[in-house]
A = this chain, B = another copy of it.
């Protein structure tokens, strides 16, 4: 297989994904649905952060699509809390794509609300593929170390909101916030950076306000 052919196939996959992502995004907007692409490495606490957000949403209806290679623990957890949640298992694929989301979204009767799409735990590829979202919420945590923006720049560059989770562990780990923020701001001048602890249930007010503002712009 020639390199040219390989590049051609890769580009076709990207183009198809972008096309479906735009249509899916327009469909969400028409329904008054704010779609959030939730990105982060394995074990940073994506589902825990979502649970904390969802219980503070007030009258705004949440929907969740959970992406995993295998298993459905997080979906069952959310459903047990009364949240409408759908599982996608990619089998092996390391990121979600827009055709998967377009299909999964049909399992809901979407009516004005916020759709959280929890991507596969991975700091690399999920940042490359639009999946119909209005915004990307990137979750990192203090145990991961402060060099992540330098090593995984695209995720930080494309994020619309950056959440630093597990700040309850700050005194037990080496997390250099100044170095972390310098890395973030070299890539991304705009995204708010919010520190939270799911364990202590702290820091979520700013996220809720940010989501309400974004949702208002979709509702028009």
Is B1 in contact with A6, judged by CB distance below 8 angstroms?
no
CA distance A9 to B10 in the complex (A): 9
Q: How many copies does the complex hold?
A: 2
Which of B5, B42, B122 interacts with A148 by CB under 8 Å?
A: B42
Cβ of A16: which chain B residues have Cβ within 8 Å of it?
A: 1
- Give the size category of A's interface with B: 35 or more
Is B94 in contact with A125, judged by CB distance below 8 angstroms?
yes
The yes or no answer to A188 lying at the interface (CB within 8 A) is: no
A70-B152, A71-B147, A143-B169 given. 17 additional CB < 8 A pairs? A1-B9, A1-B12, A1-B13, A6-B12, A42-B148, A43-B143, A69-B124, A69-B153, A70-B151, A71-B151, A73-B150, A92-B124, A94-B124, A121-B152, A122-B122, A143-B143, A168-B172
